[in-house]
Amino acid sequence: MAKTVRAHTNIALIKYWGKADDQLRLPLMSSLSMTLDQFYTDTKITASTTGNHFFLNNIEQTDKSAQRVFAYLKKLQQHFNVTGSLSVHSINHVPIAAGLASSSSAFAALAGAFCAYYELDVNQRQLSRLARLGSGSASRSIYGGFAVWQKGVDDATSYAYALDENPQQMDLHLLAIELNQQPKKLSSTGGMKQAQSSPFFKPWLARNEQEMAAMTSAIKENDFTHLGQLAELNASEMHAINLTAQPGFTYFEPDTIKAIKLVAQLRARGIECYYTIDAGPNVKVLCQLRNVKDVTNSFVSVFKNAKIVNASFGPGISCLD
Ligand code: ADP
Ligand code: DP6
């Protein structure tokens, strides 16, 4: 029996960047994301007679990423009291470890495929909690549109839910500017741990509730300008925390700064757009449909080798067989 599940990546507009509990992946802050139509992972689970295997993009993995998958499967098997060796075949339609959220779609798809394979009766909230145990941001990829991951206080209360507002009504595009597809040296898990040593980490954390409330109301009011301003500020805060950690670090490359400046120049010319950046050098630009062409053309003329993908709202998790 084989079960294949598809999950789309999500990009946080209010970021998760710190854990209260490493094992349970309980976050220190709540976060809010947009699920994307253009980037996703398909993960198939089958029975194996030769121990656990993990194939990523058709290549068997034996390194840290395989250990992470096997540890995760073991945790879920213990939790549900099920057994058996498994083969996991995963295809990523997203660059890996480049700050384009591969782990969000990866662990949502893996959690979904696991539950489908063992025919476990779980609802979306439970699935979100299970995905969270693999990668925090995966908790949000269970849902399409906008998703909120409420931080909660324990395993039972830390899960994501879909924002009720119909995202189809919001004119929102995310242009993923792939400046560099190389896997980063410092994982998100490592980066967010180091970030907590910044003197600005606590003050940033104290703003989380207010930032979540402001973003939620911008979405409810269909206010693109407010949404963009809030997303850009929150991302800049996260990267300022990284620069001021002890020792400081950054995911930025020279092209990242160039892209930030280009966004500001476009705005000054009346082309409204905002950036958000995750744990990698690549930049995502938020804009509305009427500006997609102008923003794309400007980026193409400055970054000759960049791949630019125009994404909008993607769906929640689905079973493919
Ligand atoms: P990003 O989310 O920016 O791509 P992260 O550091 O958060 O980077 O996560 C990347 C890690 O996620 C990879 O090193 C790998 O361990 C894991 N990963 C990526 N894709 C898959 C997949 N399809 N199945 C299982 N694990 C995956
Ligand atoms: C910057 O979810 O990849 O993309 O829980 O350690 O696997 P782990 O971290 P991960 O971190 C995502 C960080 C982020 C912001 C976000 O998606 O909220």
CATH number of the domain located at residue range(s) 2-166+315-319 in this protein: 3.30.230.10
290-298 contacts at long range (C-beta below 8 A, 24 or more positions apart): 292/173, 292/175, 294/266, 295/175, 295/266, 295/271, 296/175, 298/262, 298/266, 298/271
Pocket residue to mutate for ligand 1, from 15, 44, 45, 65, most atoms within 8 A of Cβ: 65
Q: How many CA atoms lie within 13 A of 261 on its CB side?
A: 8
Arithmetic mean of pLDDT over the chain:
95
d(CA 295, CA 284): 11
d(CA 18, CA 191): 9
Residues of the chain with CATH 3.30.230.10: 2-166+315-319
Query: Dihedral of the CA atoms 1, 131, 166, 91 (nearest 10)?
Result: -50
Place of tokens 């997303």: 231
Q: Which atom of ligand 2 is nearest to the CA of 134?
A: 7
**For ligand 1, atom 8: residue with the closest CA:** 97
Is the CB–ligand 2 distance for residue 12 below 6 Å?
Answer: yes
- Across the strands, what pairs with 178? 307
Q: Which atom of ligand 2 is nearest to the CA of 101?
A: 4
Residues of the chain with CATH 3.30.70.890: 173-311
- Residues 164-201: tens digit of each pLDDT: 766 667 999 999 999 887 877 899 999 999 999 999 99
Q: Which atom of ligand 2 is nearest to the CA of 279?
A: 1
Residues whose CB is less than 8 angstroms from the CB of residue 292 and which lie 6 or more positions away in sequence, other chains included = 173, 175, 310
The CATH architecture to which 173-311 belongs is 2-Layer Sandwich (3.30)
pLDDT for residue 87 is more than 90: yes
pLDDT, residue 61, reads 97
**For ligand 1, atom 26: residue with the closest CA:** 106
pLDDT, residue 185, reads 87
Is the CB–ligand 2 distance for residue 117 below 6 Å?
Answer: no
